[in-house]
Structure 1
Amino acid sequence: MARRAIIFHGTTANPTVIWYPWLAEQLRARGYDVETPHHPGTNVEPIATFLPTVLAAHTFDEDTVLVGHSGGAALLLALLEHLDVTVAQALLVAGYSTQPNDGDEPVLQGSYDWAAIRSHARELVFLNSVTDEFGCDADQGRAMFDQLGGTLVVRDDGHFTADTLEIVDRLIP
């Protein structure tokens, strides 16, 4: 089976901004089939009604790598909880599992089945920053790491909105 990567953009973003196209090209050059879907409902529509749409829109298997940024990373938690397969890797960039700021966060579930999430990813990687201006900071990364294990990488890179994000590319096999 071919390796597949799906890159989920953040809140109010789309697949053509920041590092998403750059990472997609890096992964394609390494032999990945890459999807960069546009899900405008991310962190806009309540997760209970939005999640079935996302699950139906994609195919997931043991060779799938999931990358989510910000609201897209929070989406990955719900996605992993409800998958019926175990993916190769989930990389949550500027992710969070609790309210990161005083904004509305419909992407968050009221609670998570951490064991189910952990069982649906062979490898979990959390990339957070001590200087995240939206509150998706190192404390958020640590909270997910404490529940799920995996690898926590803490940087000083704000909300990870640079045009390229080489650290993400280096974290994916």
Structure 2
Amino acid sequence: MGRRAIIFHGTHAEPGWIWYPWLGDRLRGRGYDVEIPHHPGTNTEPIGTFLPKVLAAHTFDEDTVLVGHSGGAALLLALLEHLDVTVAQAVLVAGYSTQPNDNPEPVLQDAYDWPAIRSHARELVFLNSVTDEFGCDAEQGRALFDRLGGTLVVRDDGHFVSETLELVDRLIP
């Protein structure tokens, strides 16, 4: 079927915001079929009812690269746990698996099957910042790395809301 990338936006975000369209264009230029879906239920609808909708809306295979930002990165944990295939790569930008701040986080599950998550991505990359204003910080990235392995990159880039994100582009083959 060919290489595919799906970029999942963060909480209260949209596909046209920040670096999402820029990364989509970069990946298309390298031959990827790119989806940047709008899922307004991300981190507003409970994961138990939201996840089946996301799983049904997309096709996943061994050539799929998943990119998630913030709430979209947290969503990737649930997606990976429940997939029936192993995707090529999952890149979690400002990802987290526990409550990062005082806001409700319905995207989070009460518990995770870490071995299942690990088995459903050939490569896992976590990109977190020491200065993340929403608490999706380096400690959250380290907790994911400790449970799942992969690659952890720690920057000083806030919540990664620039118009471009060169590092993510370089991390995807």
TM-score category of the 2 structures, normalised to the smaller one = over 0.9
Q: Alpha-carbon deviations, 1:27-78, whole Å to 9, x = none?
A: 0000000000000000000000000000000000000000000000000000
The residue that corresponds to 1:74 in the other structure is 74
Distance 1:155 1:171 in 2: 14
Distance 1:47 1:64 in 2: 22
Helix, strand or coil at the partner of 1:89: strand
The residue that corresponds to 2:131 in the other structure is 131
In the TM superposition, residue 131 of structure 1 has moved relative to its aligned partner by 0.2
The answer to whether residue 33 in structure 2 is matched with residue 33 in structure 1 is yes
Which amino acid in 2 is paired with 1:95? G
Identity %: 85
RMSD: 0.3
The residue that corresponds to 1:14 in the other structure is 14
Spell out the pairing of 1:22-171 with structure 2 (5 A cutoff).
Answer: 22-171=22-171
Distance 1:151 1:115 in 2: 16
Which amino acid in 2 is paired with 1:23? L
Distance 2:142 2:112 in 1: 16
Q: Alpha-carbon deviations, 1:63-119, whole Å to 9, x = none?
A: 000000000000000000000000000000000000000100000000000000000
Distance 2:93 2:159 in 1: 9
- Structure 2 residues without counterparts, runs of 5 or longer: none
In the TM superposition, residue 22 of structure 1 has moved relative to its aligned partner by 0.1
Moved over 2 A (4+): none
Helix, strand or coil at the partner of 1:124: strand
Aligned length: 173
Which amino acid in 1 is paired with 2:125? V
Distance 2:168 2:131 in 1: 17
Distance 1:14 1:54 in 2: 15
Which amino acid in 1 is paired with 2:160? F
TM-score between the two structures when normalised by the length of structure 1: 1.00
Distance 2:111 2:14 in 1: 27
Which amino acid in 1 is paired with 2:24? A
Helix, strand or coil at the partner of 1:95: coil
TM-score between the two structures when normalised by the length of structure 2: 1.00
Which amino acid in 1 is paired with 2:16? T
